[in-house]
Amino acid sequence: MEWQVRAIRGATTVSENSYEAIREAVLELLAEIEARNQLEPTAIISATFSVTRDLDVVFPAAIARERPCWDNVPMLDVQQMHVERSLQRCIRLLLHVNLPVSRTQIYHTYLRGAKTLRPDWNLPQKRGEGRGGATALRGCPPL
């Protein structure tokens, strides 16, 4: 398959609004996404982080820049829209990347309390195992 632009989603939660808790969660999320998708930072086009309104001590992108080769990735931090009774202290991530795989071979990573957001996407397969998931159930062709 030829290289195409793909989107990778991820999310995690933190126990408190502190630099240390947010740093640990962001670095864990990025490491897991890179490992599961065999992703090199040079393949990343851009990253958008959103945080719930109860997280305000540090920008997740500032933490991401600590990782090797992430300092050249265009990144944006935004506040997630507030919805009553939604998951608190949550950090979400949308990566746009260049990869030679179909979208059904992407591993979306949801950690900690964020596992409840997309249980259909948080399956324990590695890239290339053809997760299927919700896309296959709807009969969408792999792109």
How do residues 45-78 score in pLDDT, each as one tens digit?
999 999 999 999 999 999 999 999 999 999 999 9
Architecture of the domain spanning 4-120? 2-Layer Sandwich (3.30)
Check residue 123 and give its pLDDT: 60
pLDDT of residue 55: 98
Among the listed residues 88, 70, 97, the one whose alpha carbon sits nearest the alpha carbon of residue 7: 97
Q: Please say if the pLDDT value at position 9 is more than 60.
A: yes
**Which residue has tokens 């919805």?**
83
Q: Write down the pTM of the prediction.
A: 0.84
Question: How far, in Å, are 23, 47, 59, 82 from residue 17 at the CA level?
Answer: 10, 22, 12, 17
25-40 pLDDT, tens digit per residue, is 999 999 999 999 999 9
